[in-house]
Amino acid sequence: MNLRDKKVGVISLGCDKNRVDTEKMLAILGAENITNDVSEAEILIVNSCAFLESARKEALDAVFECDGYRQDGKLEKLILTGCLPQKFIEELFDDLTEVDAFLGTNDYELLPEIIERIYKGERVNSVGKKDWLEKTQRIITTPLHYAYLKIADGCNNFCTYCLIPSIRGRYRSENLETLISEAESLGEVAELILVAQDVTRYGVDLYGRPEIVTLIRRLSALDNIQSIRLLYCYPDMLTDSLIEEIANNDKVIKYVDMPLQHADDYVLKRMNRKGTSSEYLALIEKLRAKVPNIAIRSTFIAGFPGEEDSHFENLLSFIKRAKLNNAGFFAYSREEGTPSYKFHGQVEESVKEQRVKKLYSAQKRISKQILSSYVGKTVEVLADGINYDKQAFEGRCYFSAPEIDGKVYFTSDDEVNQGERYLVKIEKADAYDLYGGVVDEFTE
C-alpha cells in the first residue's frame, strides 16, 4: 500500500496548541494527498482534545460521524490521535471499534507505518510509543499571514481542576534553536503567536531559568516575523524583565492573555493557583503603568467546589475593578481524575450557569465601554479577510487575538489585501466588535 495513493482528511479539535500538532501531522502525511472534503477521504484522522467532558464528547461525536463515511463516502480507515487516546486508551481500545488505530500526543511521526499496518488488517494501539514529537515542518492551516508557534508542552502547575498534566505530562520546553528554525521556515508572518500551557515558564526545564525574553529577542531578529503575540502568561511568572521586553520591543504586541481563573483568595487556594486577588490587581496596575494601553485578557471559572455566594461576589467585584479588555468565563467542569473531583461543596449546574451569565454581563458592559472609546478615532487594523454576511472586510487591532477576541469590520474604496495593515476610522462599537472605514493605507 502506497500512502501517497490515498486521500487523507484530518479533523483537528481543541486548542491552538493542538492545531500546531495537526500541522506537523499534515507535513508527515504529505501535502499532495491531503483533502479538505471528508467525503472524499479514504483515511480520516481525528486529532482530539480531552481537557473537558464536552471536548471528549465532541471528539467521540466526530468519530461516529466520520465512521458514517464508510457507507456514504470513500472512507476505508479511521484513526484517532491526540489527548483523548493519550489519557483514556484503556477504556477506548476495546469499546471504540469504529477506530482502526490510536496514537497519543507524541506519536504522530508513527503515522506512515501505522497506516501500513492497518491496511494489512491490524487494529493498532500506538499510544505512548514516543516521548517527544520531533517534527518541526508544518503545513499551515491558519490564514497565511499569521501562525502559532508552540514553544512548550505539558504543565507543572497542577491546578486541582485540570487534567493537562496527566494528559500532556510535565512541562517540557522546545529547544531554542529548533524554535528559531521553525519560525524561519514559516515564511512571511505578519503575526506570530507564541503558545504553550504557560509561555512565561519557557526554558526553566532546559536552561534552569526562564528564557522567554531571550526567545522573544531571537524571534524579533528574524526578518520574516513582523510581530509577536503572547498567549497564556501565568501571573506568577510575569517578571519585570518580561514586562520590560513587552514594553520596549516594537515587535511585541502590547497584549497579554493572563489566565487568572478566579479572584477570591479561598477559591484560588483550593484551585492550587499561585497569587491572591490583591496581587492580581497590583500586577494589572503594574502592567498598565509599564506598558501604556496594554490589552489584558483572562479566563475565569465559576462554580468551583466550595465557591459560596460571598466568594462569587468577590470574583464579580474583581471583574468590575480590573476592567479587562476581554475575558472568558466557564462553568466548573467536574473531571474524574482531578483532585477537585472529590472536593466537598460541589455547586449545582444551574447555579454555575447563572454565575457565568452574571460574569459575562458584567464584562460585556466593561468591554463595550472600552471599545466605545475608539469611536471617532483611527486605529491600525491587520486585515484577516472578508465577512460576506456583514458585507465588509474584517480584521483585528492589537488588542484582539484570532478566534478568541472581537474583530474590526470595515469598508474600503480600494482593494484590501489579507495580511496587510490599514488605518481604519471607527464609526461604531458594540460589546465585542468595532466598525469603520479605511481612511488611508498603512505606511511604514
Give the max Cα distance, the chain.
66
Mean per-residue pLDDT for 220-225?
98
Grid coordinates given for 290: 509599564
**For 15-54, how does the pLDDT look when each residue is reduced to its tens digit (9 = 90+)?**
999 999 999 999 999 878 899 899 999 999 999 999 899 9
pLDDT of residue 263: 98
The CA distances from residue 229 to 23, 45, 243, 441, 444, in Å, are: 19, 30, 13, 23, 20
Mean per-residue pLDDT for 266-272?
98
Dihedral (CA of 78, 84, 86, 91) sign: negative
Look up residue 69 and give its amino acid: Y
**For 272-310, how does the pLDDT look when each residue is reduced to its tens digit (9 = 90+)?**
999 999 999 999 999 999 999 999 999 999 999 999 999
Closest by CA position to 165, among listed 173, 175, 155: 155
Grid coordinates given for 84: 483523548
Mean per-residue pLDDT for 173-186?
96
How sure is the predictor about 434, in pLDDT bands with cuts at 50, 70 and 90?
Answer: very high
Mean per-residue pLDDT for 156-176?
95
Output the CATH code of domain 142-246. Answer: 3.30.750.210
pLDDT of residue 441: 56
Q: Per-residue pLDDT for 84 more than 90?
A: yes
Mean per-residue pLDDT for 261-270?
98
Q: Per-residue pLDDT for 205 more than 70?
A: yes
Q: Per-residue pLDDT for 440 more than 90?
A: no
Q: In percent, how much of the chain has pLDDT > 90? A: 93
How sure is the predictor about 1, in pLDDT bands with cuts at 50, 70 and 90?
Answer: low
Residue 125 contacts residue 89 (beta carbons within 8 Å): yes
Q: Number of C-alpha atoms within 13 angstroms, CB side, residue 208? A: 0
Q: Per-residue pLDDT for 388 more than 60?
A: yes
pLDDT of residue 444: 40
Q: Mean of the per-residue pLDDT values for the chain?
A: 95
How sure is the predictor about 133, in pLDDT bands with cuts at 50, 70 and 90?
Answer: confident
How sure is the predictor about 244, in pLDDT bands with cuts at 50, 70 and 90?
Answer: very high
Three-state DSSP class for residue 440:
strand
Closest by CA position to 293, among listed 370, 396, 239, 360: 370
Look up residue 177 and give its amino acid: E
Residue 149 contacts residue 218 (beta carbons within 8 Å): no
Residue 225 contacts residue 219 (beta carbons within 8 Å): yes
* DSSP-assigned states of every residue in 340-390: GGG-S-PPPHHHHHHHHHHHHHHHHHHHHHHHHTTTT-EEEEEEEEEETTT
Q: Per-residue pLDDT for 161 more than 80?
A: yes
Mean per-residue pLDDT for 90-100?
96
The CA distances from residue 403 to 125, 324, 396, 407, in Å, are: 34, 18, 10, 9
Dihedral (CA of 19, 23, 29, 31) sign: positive
Q: In percent, how much of the chain has pLDDT > 70? A: 99
> How many CB atoms neighbour CB 405 within 10 A?
20
Q: Which CATH architecture has domain 3-126?
A: 3-Layer(aba) Sandwich (3.40)
pLDDT of residue 443: 43
Backbone angles phi, psi at 271, to 5 degrees: -75, -10
Q: Per-residue pLDDT for 114 more than 50?
A: yes
Q: Per-residue pLDDT for 335 more than 80?
A: yes
> How many CB atoms neighbour CB 335 within 10 A?
17
Backbone angles phi, psi at 387, to 5 degrees: -105, 105
Q: State how far the Cα of 385 lies from the Cα of 376, in Å rounded to an integer.
A: 23
Fold of 258-371: Transcription Regulator spoIIAA (3.30.750)
Q: State how far the Cα of 50 lies from the Cα of 53, in Å rounded to an integer.
A: 7
Please indicate whether the domains covering 3-126 and 378-441 agree at the CATH topology level: no
Residue 367 contacts residue 432 (beta carbons within 8 Å): yes
Please tell me the CATH superfamily of domain 378-441, with its number.
Nucleic acid-binding proteins (2.40.50.140)
> How many CB atoms neighbour CB 233 within 10 A?
27
Dihedral (CA of 87, 90, 96, 99) sign: positive
Q: Per-residue pLDDT for 155 more than 90?
A: yes
How sure is the predictor about 3, in pLDDT bands with cuts at 50, 70 and 90?
Answer: confident
Q: State how far the Cα of 284 lies from the Cα of 274, in Å rounded to an integer.
A: 15
pLDDT of residue 214: 98
Backbone angles phi, psi at 236, to 5 degrees: -70, -15
Closest by CA position to 118, among listed 59, 69, 75, 63: 75
Mean per-residue pLDDT for 384-408?
96
Q: What are the residue ranges spanned by the domains of the chain?
A: 3-126, 142-246, 258-371, 378-441
